[in-house]
């Protein structure tokens, strides 16, 4: 009887352990993005391309002019409202993105969960690297000034995102910043278990 009790206890322990859900990266063959310390390259790469795919699929399904995945046009449509968090992100985020978000949340340095303005820690090594490597000097200097004055957030920067959104097509540092500042931070507190 004692053997059975021990076996049952072991079985319950093993079955009740929460298993980390494996994630298969889908965009490993996509062009290289950025090299910034503070966040794993492969995770950053995957998160960026998953963001791009999510918005391209979402906009394509709206049937507003084209029936193919068009990242550039989709980003233009998305950023108008997305920069201020005015989307039903649960409709946009793919299951793959939600898995990536769980991994991104494990890197606490990139997040500021205490700020009422933004979930992004603009002083983190990762975000600092993104900003320092933005090609458009005007945008870069504006962001640096806002960060230094502790004023940076997607609401205050929304017009700049809208005006220069297409720079991100040829500037992955700016593109990744847009993905984190206008997408992942809004997903951060959402409950996707419902």
The kind and range of the H/E element at 128 are helix 125-132
How high is the pLDDT of residue 8? 47
Helix orientation angle between 154-164 and 71-82, rounded to the nearest 10 degrees: 150
Is residue 106 within 8 A of residue 180, CB to CB? The reply is no
Beta bridge partners of 111: 120
Three-state DSSP class for residue 120: strand
**Closest by Cα among 187, 191, 192 to 51:** 187
What span, in angstroms and rounded, lies between the C-alpha atoms of 42 and 34? Answer: 10
SS3 content of the chain, % helix, strand, coil (to 5): 60, 0, 40
Which run of H or E residues covers position 86? none
For 167-184, b/e burial (b = at least 16 CB within 10 A) is bbeebbbbbbbbbbbbbb
pLDDT at 71: 84
Domain residue spans of the chain: 2-187
| pLDDT of amino acid 3 | 54
Partners of residue 137 on adjacent β-strands: none
- How far CA 168 is from CA of 63, 107, 136, in Å, comes to 24, 24, 10
Which letter does DSSP use for residue 149 in this model? T
Evaluate the CA torsion angle 145, 86, 174, 47 in order and state its sign: positive
pLDDT tens string for the chain (194 positions)?
555 444 444 444 444 444 445 789 999 999 998 989 999 999 999 999 999 999 999 988 887 766 777 888 888 888 988 888 888 899 999 999 999 999 999 999 999 999 988 999 999 999 999 999 999 999 999 999 999 999 998 888 888 998 999 999 899 999 999 999 999 999 999 988 86
């Amino acid at each position: 009887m004692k053997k059975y009790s021990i076996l049952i206890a072991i079985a319950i322990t093993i079955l009740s352990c929460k298993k980390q859900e494996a994630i298969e990266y889908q965009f490993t063959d996509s062009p290289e993005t950025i090299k910034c310390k503070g966040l794993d390259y492969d995770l950053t790469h995957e998160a960026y391309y998953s963001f791009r795919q999510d918005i391209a699929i979402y906009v394509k399904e709206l049937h507003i002019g084209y029936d193919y995945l068009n990242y550039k046009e989709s980003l233009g449509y998305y950023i108008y409202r997305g920069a201020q968090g005015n989307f039903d992100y649960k409709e946009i985020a793919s299951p793959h993105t939600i898995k990536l978000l769980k991994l991104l949340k494990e890197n606490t340095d990139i997040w500021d969960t205490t700020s009422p303005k933004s979930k992004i820690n603009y002083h983190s090594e990762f975000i600092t690297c993104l900003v320092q490597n933005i090609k458009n000097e005007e945008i870069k200097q504006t962001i640096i000034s806002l960060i230094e004055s502790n004023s940076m957030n997607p609401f205050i920067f929304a017009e700049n995102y809208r005006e220069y959104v297409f720079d991100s097509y040829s500037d992955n540092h700016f593109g990744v910043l847009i993905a984190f500042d206008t997408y992942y931070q809004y997903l951060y507190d959402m409950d996707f278990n419902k």
